[in-house]
Every structure is written in C-alpha cells, then in structure tokens.
Structure 1
Amino acid sequence: MEPPVPSKPQFSLPVDSDHKATQFRLFSLSPPHMLAFHLAWLSLFSNFFSTFSIPPLLSLIRSDLHLSSSDIGRAGIASFAGSIFSRLAMGPACDLFGPRVASATLSLLTSPVVLSVSLIQSPLSFILVRFLIGFSLANFVANQFWMSSMFSSNVVGLANGFAAGWANVGSGVTQLVMPLIYSLLTNSFQIPTSTAWRAAFVVPAVFQAVTAILVLIYGQDLPDGNYSKKSKRSSSTGSGKNFFTVLFTGLKNYRGWILGLTYGYCFGVELTMDNIVAGYFYDRFGVNLESAGALAASFGLANVASRPGGGVVSDKMGRRFGMRGRLWGLWVVQTVAGLLCVLLGRVETLWGSVVVMCCFSVFVQAASGLTFGVVPFVSKRSLGVISGMTGSGGTVGAVVTQLLLFSGSNQFSTQTSISLMGLMMIVCTLTLGLIYFPKWGGMFCGPSVEPISEEEEEDYFLLE
C-alpha cells in the first residue's frame, strides 16, 4: 500500500513555487508571511529604540558624568563599532540557524546591557555600554533576511523597505519618548534628575526583551516551517549547508562589497545623524531639551514612509527596466540625498535647517530601501552573508564618518562636517556603476547571457 501523499500547505496569500508570498498586505496578520513581517519590524524597532535612547538625554548624562566632547565622540563611534562584527556574524547565523532564533537570541542578550545604563558612573563605563548596546543593531540583518525568505522577488523590495523603515522609526520615537519619560519621572513623581534619567532606561530594556520573546513564540523562519526542521531534513539527505562554503561564497562576491560601501553612506549617514542631530539643534540654535528631541525625532520618523518608498521605487523600476532600473534608481536617490546633506550644513536659520533636514531624511532613508531592493538578487546561497556585509557596511560608514567628522577632536564645526559628509555620500555612490550581473546587466551595460528559464535561474543564484 502506497503511503498517502502529503497535502500541500495552504496560505492566505498567493505564493510562488518556493511558497514565498507574491503579494504584500500591510495590515494583515496572516501567518506565516505577514505575521513574520510584523514580528520582524517590531523586534528591530525595539533595538533601534534602545540603541538611540541615550542621545536625547545626553545633555543630562554629560553633566552628571562630566563627559568631555571627546568622550561623547568616542561613545558615538563605539555604539556603531559594536554592530560591525555582530552584523557580519549575523549573516551566517541566519543562513545556518534561521532569522527567528538569531534575532531573538541577540535581543535577549543585549537587553540587560540596556538596563545597565542606569548603573554607569564614569566616562569609560559610558563608552563601554554604548559599544555593547550597538550589538543589537545586528538584528537588522535578520530582519532583511527574514523578509527575503518570506516574500517573492516582485514584492521583496517593498517588504524589506517596510520592515526596515518601520523599524528605523524607533530611532525617531526614542528621541521623542525618552525626554517625556524623564519629564514624567521628575515632574509627576518628584524623582531627582540624576536618578530620573537612569530609571528611564528600564523602559527600552523591558520593551526589547518582550519583543524578542514574541518572535520566539509566534515567529516562523520560512513559509514551510522553521530552520530546525529544515536542518534535520538536510542532514538526513546529506544536503546541509557548510558554514565556510556559505561564508566564502558571499565574501567572494564583489557586489556585496560595493553595496556595503554605498550603504555605509546612506544608512551609515542616517545612523550618524541620529547620534548628532538632537545635540546639533540644542547647541547651534539654543532650543530646549524637549524641542531638540522633537526635531531630531522628525528625522527618524520619516522612515514610516521614506524607506518603504525606496522599496516601492526599486520594485517598480525593476519591473520596468530590470536590474538596470534598480541600480539607476538607487544612484539618483542617494546622490540627491548627498546634495541635500551638503545644503543642510550651509543653512543658517533654524527653520531653514528643519525643512532641509526633513527633505534630506526622505531621500537618505529611501536610498536605504533601494539598496535592499538589490541585495536579494546578489546571491541566493549566501543571502545572509551578503545581507550581513551590506548591513555591516552601514555601521562601518557610520564609524568612519563619526571618527573623521564628529569625534570631538577634529577642527571642523558640526555644520561644516555635515556638508563634508554629503560630499562623501556623492563620491561613494559612484561605485554603483561597477556592479554588473551577467544575466541582468548593470547601469551602463546590458546582459551578456540569453534569458533563462526558472529552473536555470535557480542554478544561477546558487552559483553566485
């Protein structure tokens, strides 16, 4: 008697041959595709909220701990340096263990570090804590990997854009919320200033831990199940992935290095601005703590629409012009962002700076969305490694920019440094012209091979 044929899984969304969703329904919670989306962005949102919960209270922390400009600059660099190697490691971890376990584990390990901000007593401990908290930003790689595992190529740019864009809003919300929590503790509960800012960090620490637990309980790595089951099937058939094969396949792909560089000067610039923008308005234009936080929040809050907008543009350009459209769209948007960044440093008035900053935020965040509209096409075998390389490039760019221009030890004013950062964006974006895919072409050249079938496309991805 023949064994019964297993029934095909049923999904609430239309799917392709890999069971990846071919539609993206933003306000649906249907498992596994849209539920994974909402868990992914909410978890990463909490990581951004935690990482950038310190800058809006920095004027208080600076006074309490007697921090110098150099201490603050080093701490800003440390907050990004912490995520460079963790992002590189997160890529292979997602390839081998799945985004769900990788993401939740890192969030649970770093949430006690967020809570430890309330215990710091010296400049050195302040720098160390910022370094360790920065590790949580590696969850960005898991976020993008998860979306690329759940959504088909026709909507992957949109899914990646919304998942990262809504998550990045955490960097803006924390600029607004942390000063409000501090004010609530001091005004309503009469808690002393030096105690109130420390107690405020209970909120991001608990929030991050709760979202990690939700990911573990309700998340699913792939449309057909979790990586733990997949690994058992692979080992029984002898088709499991080898760590070093996955790693070196990704590292040998030059496209990942170029995307890492360009991402360093869109998302890396965004991270730098999140670190400096509240202090910039506070010091240069003399606004109060709450107003500086609100102005800084407007920069991060633009991610609600701008980064997803970049994903939409990437998908539409891809449908109309192929890979050439995705690359040209990224180059144009990121170059405009660089020009606006140059202008931001030249504006002399408060409201003029606010207007230019808002325009700049839209373009620089859209460029990040456009970047991850290209990433899923670089390598299917080593998707996590390429995502990690690109994501790490974002934090490397932030570290280099902070070190060269905002470390507190250079001779440039903050406004001049902002303009120089814009020039760096424009120059680094030129390297996109070097990216070429034999099957799809590049910015200046068409494909060098004939169109291929869906089965051959799978082989093409695996060879990359």
Structure 2
Amino acid sequence: MIGELFTKATQGRYRILHLTWFAFFLSFVVWFNFPPFATTIVQEFGLTPQQAGTIGLCNVALTVPARIIIGMLLDKYGPRVTYTCLLIYAAIPCLIFATATSFNQLVVGRLLMGIVGAGFVIGIRMTAEWFPPKEVGTAEGIYGGWGNFGSAFSAFTMVLFAMALSFLPGSFNFGEPQPFEVLGMSFSSEVLNWRAAIAGSGIVTALYGVFYYFNVTDTPPGKVYRRPASARGIEVTTVRDFWFLMAMNVPLTAILMVIAWRLQQVGFLSVPAMFITMLLLLGLYAFQAYNCWMVNKDLLAGRKRYPAEDRYRFKQVAILELTYVVNFGSELAVVSVLPAFFEGTFSLDKAAAGMIAASYAFMNLVSRPGGGIISDSVGSRKWTMTVLLGGMGIGYLLFSMVGSSWWLPGAVLLVMACSFFVQAAEGATFALVPLVKSRITGQVAGNVGAYGNVGAVAYLTILLLLQQALVPAGDGVDPAVIAAGTARANALFFQVLGVAGLIVAFLCAFFLDEPKNSFADAHEGEEVAIPVAPAAGNPSVMS
C-alpha cells in the first residue's frame, strides 16, 4: 500500500486519503497558530504569565465536547459535509483572535478555536469508508501522523509568514530587532505581523474547505454510507453496556470541571462563576445521558433486541478510550514539558532545548503510520496494541531516571524511542476504532479522541500539583533546592505516565477483543466480487 500511496496519489482511495490528511493538517495548523506568537502577544497586550497560560488552556477547553458532538454530526451528515463546515468555520476564530484588542477577546477567540481541534475525528471515518479492514491501520496511521504534523509546521512557519507580511497594516513594531525561536532556530525582526499570519491561516483553511467539498465523496462508488438510527448518542446493544456508557461519560464532564477550577486559579473565573460553571457542566452530563437514553430506550424497555451478528461490546470502546488517554494524552503533556525539562536538566539554551523537543513532534511523520502498518501486518491488532503500550510504559519509566549526570545524546535517543512507542500506539488505537461498529464509527472516534484531551489535561494538572507540592516558591529560596524539587516533580510525572501505560497495556492483554473480520478484504456487510474463469469457447465471459 505504501508504494501505491505515491504512484496512485491522484486515483481513487489514495486521492481521498491525501485530500483528507491535508484537511486535518490545516486544522492543526490553525489550532496551534497561537504558540509561535505567544511571546509577541504577551508583549503587545501586556499580559501576565497567568493570563498567557489561560489563553493556552482555553485553546483545548472546548475540544473535549466538540469531538463528541462532531462525532454525532459526522455519523448523521457524513465526513464530506462535516469537514467542509469545520474548515470554513476555522476562519471565524482566527479572525476574532487576529482582530482582538483585549484579553477577553483573545480568550473568546481561543475558546472557539478549540472546536477546530476536533477535526481529527472526521477523517477517521472518511478513511475507514474508503479502505478495507486489512489496510485501515496503515491508512489511519498516515492520516493521523501526517495530519498531526500540522502542529509542528505551524510552529516552524507562522513566524516566517508573519515576518513576510510585515508590510501590511497591523504589524507590531518592536522598535529594535527582537529574537524569535522556531523549533530551535533563532530569527530576528523589528516588525512582526502576527495578526495577518493568523487571519491568513484561517482564510486559507476555509478556502480549502470549499475545495474539499467539491473533490471528495463520503464513500466509494456503489457503497452506501451507513448511518445510525439516531446520532443523538451512542447506540449500544445490551442493557449492561448502556450503564457502562453512562460511567465512561463521567470523566468527560469531570475534566471540564478541572478546567473550570484551573481557570478560577488564574483569576479568569471568580469562585461563584466556577461553581455556576460546574453546575452547568452537570446539566450537560444530564443532557448527554438523556440523549443516550432516547437512542437506547427501546433496548432498555425490552422492546428491542439485537441479533447476535449485530451486537458489539462497549468494553471495546472503553478500552480504546483508555489507550488514547495514555498515548495521545501523554504526548500532548510531554510536548508541553520537554523544552523546559531539557533546558533545566542539562543547562541548555532555549534554542537547543526547543530543537530536542521538536524531534518528538517530528516523529509523528513515521511513528503513527508505523503503528498502523504493524497493526495491519502482524495478524493481531490486540497484541500490537498491548506490546506498543507496554513499550511506551517502560520508556516513560526509564525516562523518569534521566538526570543531569546522563549523557545528553543518550537522553535524546531515549526520547526518540519512547515517542515511537507513544505515537505508534496512537496509530494502533485508530486501526481498531473503525472496526468496532461501522455505523457509529464517528461517535466512537469522537469519544476516543475526546479521551485523549482528557488525558492531556489530567496529566498536566498532576504535574502542576506535583510542582506546587515539591518546588519551593518565594524570594530567597536556594536555587539548588528549587532545582532538586523540580527534578523530583518531573521524575514522578514520568513515572505516572509509565505506570498508567502499563496498566492499560494489562487491560488490553486481558480484556480487549480481536475485532471480527479484522483483516477482511471488505467492510461489514459488503461482498467482494470473485473473478470467474472464462466459460469454455467464450473467453469474454467474466464475473
């Protein structure tokens, strides 16, 4: 398949894959277009460190519910319409942020931008519709890995675009050359038009959304797009699974409460506003539970019973949600931590630390497709998932031992090896997602994707609490004591990541089922035409 990916790039399913991973790529470019300008925006608006952190937090706040909602819309309307609408919508928060004149407007722009981060879910079903089960791991890995590279591309290019657009009105003049670091490389400019760069990225994404609509279809010719009876909530096939679904929805609400608490900690929300927000989130959970009940009420009342061949086990979804917590959730957290970790541990300058941290994101180009390829090749998606998570857990535990006495190249190699297992496990996760139940693939992908953000917020909150407990604060504290406390907090943080990975690997080994027809040539309900030998005396007769 890898060879055909390039030789048949403009044909059939390979063309759809290229168009779709690029849509995901652009959604991540705009989702991550704030960090390259963080220093510039802080300086222009006079923001405090807490306010700057709040903007970054708002960037992911709505991604959790958005991935669930977009999963529902995806199953109902199809990936073509859903992706088109999301890409066009991306221009709105970009323009709001680019034209902001106050901190509150910046916050509104980034809150709305969090919805764009849910675009990943859409391409999961589009790719699954076009590729058969035996190749879906590789296809999903390429889609996820190459699209995910949009975050690194944004970090590398946005400042360059802003410098190139410095002739336009709205540029921020620093008065003297200012240094900028992009993936470890230093640049200097007197003028930086970050507003034009961010607005331009949104406009380009919206234009691509229109192009996407006119150049893709939801399914290959002759294949019917299968929709659930209702997209209001996930359809389950047993009463026990309904209550399992209710339990697995709790963390999605709980993590939003954690975000509300963190916004109160930085002063963005008052204490009464925080409690009001939490009450609203409880209402959101109740509304979600009601929708799930509406979808499954006939099953719960005993008026509906699914035949054995139409049932699936919700534990498959639950375990995949946990795998995405520990792999993608840890990746988002580690990417945020690595630059400061290497800078403090090995006394590196910011440029060198940034270059090492960037290598973690660059690994996505090969690691995530690699996980999908392995899942397609070894004959067992279950054991692929188990082994990759086990390797990830061991890698994090080893990394928790890294200290200033380590050989720096050895530490970098360990980061690279650990990132391979993390991102390959992500690819293996979404090699399994489309095989759970085809007609609800969008909702399954939405929930699994949302759990990745749950993991990121949970891990970063754990790190914050560890730092508050172990790192002394205040004036006059011995720097050596601060360094020792920081090192201890980092070690415990990586140990948490490692232990969590090993626990989920254990769950996969004992509770994850190998999907039915995991390596079939056709999707569920489809038949593959088998060529028939020419009839005697009539070589033109073929099936």
TM-score above 0.5, yes or no: yes
Taking the aligned partners of 2:447 and 2:423, their CA distance within structure 1 comes to 19
Counterpart of 2:506 in structure 1: which amino acid?
Answer: G
Indicate conservation of the 8 Å contact 1:108/1:208, yes or no: yes
Gaps of 5+ in 1: 1-21, 436-442, 460-464
Within 5 A, what are the aligned runs for 1:184-333?
A: 184-185=164-165, 192-193=173-174, 196-224=193-221, 230=224, 241-244=229-232, 246-248=234-236, 252=245, 253-275=314-336, 277=338, 287=349, 294-317=355-378, 319=379, 322-333=380-391
Taking the aligned partners of 2:196 and 2:413, their CA distance within structure 1 comes to 34
TM-score, normalised to structure 1, is 0.77
Within 5 A, what are the aligned runs for 1:6-405?
A: 25-27=4-6, 28-185=8-165, 192-193=173-174, 196-224=193-221, 230=224, 241-244=229-232, 246-248=234-236, 252=245, 253-275=314-336, 277=338, 287=349, 294-317=355-378, 319=379, 322-339=380-397, 341-343=399-401, 354-405=412-463
Taking the aligned partners of 2:452 and 2:43, their CA distance within structure 1 comes to 31
* Residue 434 (structure 1) aligned to one of 507, 526, 532: 507
Indicate conservation of the 8 Å contact 1:299/1:357, yes or no: yes
Q: Which moved more, 1:189-198 or 1:71-80?
A: 189-198
Taking the aligned partners of 2:519 and 2:208, their CA distance within structure 1 comes to 41
Q: 1:275 to 1:425 in 2, by over 3 A?
A: closer
Taking the aligned partners of 1:121 and 1:420, their CA distance within structure 2 comes to 41
Q: 1:62 to 1:277 in 2, by over 3 A?
A: farther
Q: Which moved more, 1:57-66 or 1:31-40?
A: 57-66
Flag the structure with larger Rg.
2
Indicate conservation of the 8 Å contact 2:393/2:500, yes or no: no
Q: 1:422 to 1:286 in 2, by over 3 A?
A: closer
Taking the aligned partners of 2:37 and 2:514, their CA distance within structure 1 comes to 55
Q: 1:79 to 1:345 in 2, by over 3 A?
A: farther
Report the Cα offset of residue 346 of structure 1.
Answer: 6.8
Taking the aligned partners of 1:115 and 1:282, their CA distance within structure 2 comes to 35
Taking the aligned partners of 2:373 and 2:150, their CA distance within structure 1 comes to 21
TM-score, normalised to structure 2, is 0.67
Say what the alpha-carbon RMSD is for the aligned residues.
3.8
Taking the aligned partners of 2:207 and 2:161, their CA distance within structure 1 comes to 19
Q: 1:360 to 1:67 in 2, by over 3 A?
A: farther
Gaps of 5+ in 2: 175-190, 246-313, 472-485, 526-543
Return the structure number with greater relative CO, CA threshold 8 A, min gap 6.
1
Taking the aligned partners of 1:273 and 1:310, their CA distance within structure 2 comes to 19
Q: 1:449 to 1:372 in 2, by over 3 A?
A: closer
Taking the aligned partners of 2:377 and 2:496, their CA distance within structure 1 comes to 28
